[in-house]
Structure 1
Amino acid sequence: MTDLDPLLKYREQHKHRLNYMPWLYYSLKPKHRAWAEAWQHEYQDYLMQMETVQIGKNCFISPLAHIFAEPGRTIRIGDNTFIAADCTLHGPLEIGNEVAINHHCILDGGRVGIKLHDQVRIAAYCHLYAFDHGMDIDLPIYQQAVRSQGIEIGRDVWLGAHVGIKDGVKIAEHAVVGMNSMVTKDVAARQIVAGNPARLIRYRE
């Protein structure tokens, strides 16, 4: 055993912590920031070689996230954005600056895509599916035609934990969706909604 072994073991645990709590990346002390930035640069370079992904400056992308962006399903990630562990992202996705996507979220852009404007905060276990299919009784579900209208989430929107967003929904700027809610209709600016289906509680003032 060398003197460095405990430090290396701690570093692996530190990486594990950052994977699930990536906001800590932005407050690392300089001695930790150096190795963390090198780790992130290496992984993000690899990701951009393997997938049709564009990543902005000063981002944190957990290597434990699952990011798929084949040609025609580009994922664009703005500056100062983080994506935590165990997320599944499938393009097309347009993700703005200072966006937070916490662990175990699923974002599937379908054909039309999902757009997250700047400063969107998505808590753990949220599901956004920008596609749907018919339910005609004459055909099994798996044979139904698939549609995609897209999803758009406005600036400074906060989605609480375990929120679901249906295809075709637009949530305007500064809105808040309470945890465990299912959003099936558009949400206006500054509205706070909750429930299944989500309904207006009050306005952010």
Structure 2
Amino acid sequence: MSGGRLRRELRIEFTMLTRRALLNVVAGSSLVPRPLRWLIYRACGADVRSPNVFPGLEIAGRPGNLTLGAGTFVNTGCFFELVAPVSIGRDCQLGMRTMVVTSHHETTAAGTSRRPVGLPVRIGDRVWTGARVTILPGVTIADDVVVAAGAVVTADCPEPGVYAGVPARLIRSTAGAR
């Protein structure tokens, strides 16, 4: 490896480590007040329109891939993988340790794994997720959806209602309730 390429690689690695430390150690600390945490996320490129992000949020990937709507609440210990865009709407409530994953490993016909591919996740307005919900790559969750604690969302949740289980499925529709 040439000296110029090595310096460039080291600079990129140092930048990523610094950003990761700023986002996950400093902003994720319970010693940092919410308004300052909000400013750090915005300064790192995330489109965060709500200061209601509690300590312990872990971000992996590019912060510019995160959009968080006004009035949304992110509880403690959540994890957002930002290999692809993650869009979370207005007035959502994300329970403790909600996990949003965007990377997907495709396999070849021979059964070997390829490089990861990012698939975007879209969460609509007024969505509530219980504790330890996992949302997998490529999923879209409609407005006014409730996802029960511990559910694993493997496919779209296209209509308002309550989704539960592994994999999550609609257990009660609220489409006509509004």
- 1:121 pairs with one of 89, 93, 96: 93
* Distance apart, 1:89 and its partner CA: 2.1
Unaligned runs of 5+ residues in structure 1 are 1-17, 21-35, 48-52, 56-68
* Equivalent in the alignment of 2:46: 75
Task: Provide the C-alpha distance between the structure 2 equivalents of 1:176 and 1:44, rounded to a whole number of angstroms.
Answer: 25
- 1:183 pairs with one of 141, 149, 153: 153
* Equivalent in the alignment of 2:140: 170
**So what's the TM-score if we normalise by structure 2?**
0.71
Q: Which runs of 4+ in 1 moved over 2 A?
A: 39-45, 134-139
User: Are residues 202 and 54 of structure 1, via their aligned partners in 2, closer, same or farther at CA, if it must alter by over 3 Å?
Assistant: same
* Equivalent in the alignment of 2:119: 149
The structure whose Rg is larger is 1
SS state at 2:59 partner: strand
* Equivalent in the alignment of 1:31: none
- 2:130 pairs with one of 160, 174, 185: 160
- 1:132 pairs with one of 104, 108, 126: 104
* Distance apart, 1:85 and its partner CA: 1.5
Task: Provide the C-alpha distance between the structure 1 equivalents of 2:129 and 2:37, rounded to a whole number of angstroms.
Answer: 28
Task: Tell me if 1:100 matches 2:73.
Answer: yes
CA displacement, residues 112-162 of structure 1 (integer Å, 9 cap, x when unaligned): 3100011111000111011111244654x5xx2211120000000001101
User: Are residues 134 and 158 of structure 1, via their aligned partners in 2, closer, same or farther at CA, if it must alter by over 3 Å?
Assistant: same
Task: Provide the C-alpha distance between the structure 1 equivalents of 2:132 and 2:34, rounded to a whole number of angstroms.
Answer: 28
**So what's the TM-score if we normalise by structure 1?**
0.62
Task: Provide the C-alpha distance between the structure 1 equivalents of 2:111 and 2:130, rounded to a whole number of angstroms.
Answer: 38
Q: Percent identity?
A: 21
Task: Provide the C-alpha distance between the structure 2 equivalents of 1:147 and 1:116, rounded to a whole number of angstroms.
Answer: 20
Counterpart contact for 2:34–2:53, Cα < 8 Å: no
Tell me how large the CA RMSD over aligned residues is.
2.4
CA displacement, residues 158-178 of structure 1 (integer Å, 9 cap, x when unaligned): 011010001000000000100
